[in-house]
Amino acid sequence: MADSTSSFWGPVTSSHEWCEKNYVYSSYVAEFYNTISNIPCILLAFIGLVSSLLQRFEKRFSVLHLSNMALAIGSVMYHATLQHVQQQSDETPMVWEMLLYIYILYSPDWHYRSTMPTFLFLYGISFAVLHSVIRFDIGFKLHYVMLCLLCVPRMYKYYIHTQDVSAKRLAKLYFATLFVGSLCWLGDRFCCTHISTWPINPQGHALWHVSMGFNSYFANTFLMFCRAQQRDWSPKVVCFMGILPYVRIQKPKTHTK
| CATH value at residue 214 | 1.20.1070.10
Distance CA 40, CA 208 (A): 12
Dihedral of alpha carbons 108, 174, 215, 46, sign? negative
Could you say which DSSP state residue 29 is in?
B
Residue 73 resides in a domain: yes
Burial class (CB in 10 A: 0-12, 13-18, 19+), 151: middle
pLDDT of 161 > 60? The answer is yes
Residue 3 resides in a domain: no
pLDDT of 4 > 60? The answer is no
Distance CA 181, CA 255 (A): 48
Give the model's pLDDT for residue 137. 75
Residue 229 resides in a domain: yes
pLDDT band at residue 7, thresholds of 50, 70 and 90?
A: confident
* Residue 205 is assigned to a ligand binding site: yes
Q: Which range of residues forms the domain containing residue 203?
A: 32-248
Residue 8 resides in a domain: no
pLDDT tens-digit map of 63-103? 999 999 999 999 999 999 999 888 888 889 999 999 999 99
pLDDT band at residue 246, thresholds of 50, 70 and 90?
A: very high
Q: What is the pTM of this model?
A: 0.91
Distances (CA, A) of 76 to 108, 158, 219, 253: 34, 32, 22, 43
Element (H, E) at 39: helix 39-54
Distance CA 245, CA 221 (A): 8
pLDDT of 2 > 80? The answer is no
* Residue 209 is assigned to a ligand binding site: yes
pLDDT tens-digit map of 208-223? 999 999 999 999 999 9
Give the model's pLDDT for residue 68. 96
User: From the centroid of its chain, how far is CA 185?
Assistant: 14
* Residue 20 is assigned to a ligand binding site: yes
8 A C-beta contact, residue 34 and residue 79? yes
The structural domain count of the chain equals 1
pLDDT band at residue 254, thresholds of 50, 70 and 90?
A: low
* Residue 18 is assigned to a ligand binding site: yes
pLDDT of 110 > 90? The answer is no
The number of beta carbons lying within 10 Å of the beta carbon of residue 54 is 8
* Residue 31 is assigned to a ligand binding site: yes
Residue 67 resides in a domain: yes
Q: What phi and psi values does residue 236 have, to the nearest 5 degrees?
A: -145, 135
Element (H, E) at 120: helix 115-133
Residue 182 resides in a domain: yes
Residue 144 resides in a domain: yes
Residue 25 resides in a domain: no
